[in-house]
Amino acid sequence: MRQKTLPGAVYIEGAYSYVRMEQEGRKVLEQRLSSDTRTPRATLTLDPGSYTMVSFQRPCDGNCGTLDPPADQCSLAIEALAGSVIKTTVRLSPGKGCTITKDG
């Protein structure tokens, strides 16, 4: 998955981006995206099955040693098949939310 931040607002003190995979409402995997400020990314390996992909931000509170609760969360249902590669893009608008789309 990759994340693009739309023009407009920014997190003044910065933020970390995360992706979480859930099955039946339970967290299966959670990972912080790369620190690449231009296009943060993550590569996840999943067993076949149905998942909900959740993207969220943890804004920095004063500095990034302390993080605020998750913000700007969005989700997308994903069906992982054996041997498949699923590419997604999160379009983030800080303070307004996000959307996730499948690429290709």
43-69 pLDDT per residue, tens: 999 999 999 999 999 999 988 999 999
Q: Go through the domains of the chain in sequence order and give each one's CATH number.
A: 2-102 (2.60.40)
The number of beta carbons lying within 10 Å of the beta carbon of residue 85 is 8
Summarize the confidence of residues 79-103 as an average pLDDT: 95
pLDDT confidence tier of residue 37, bands split at 50, 70 and 90: low
Beta-bridge partners for 49: 80
The per-residue pLDDT of the chain, averaged, comes to 94
Tell me which DSSP letter residue 34 carries: P
Place of tokens 């609760």: 69
CB 98 within 8 A of CB 92: yes
For residues 93-103, give the mean pLDDT.
96
Confidence of residue 9 (pLDDT cuts 50, 70, 90): confident
Output the pTM of the full model.
Answer: 0.92
User: What torsion, rounded to 10 degrees, do the Cα atoms 73, 77, 80, 85 define?
Assistant: -60
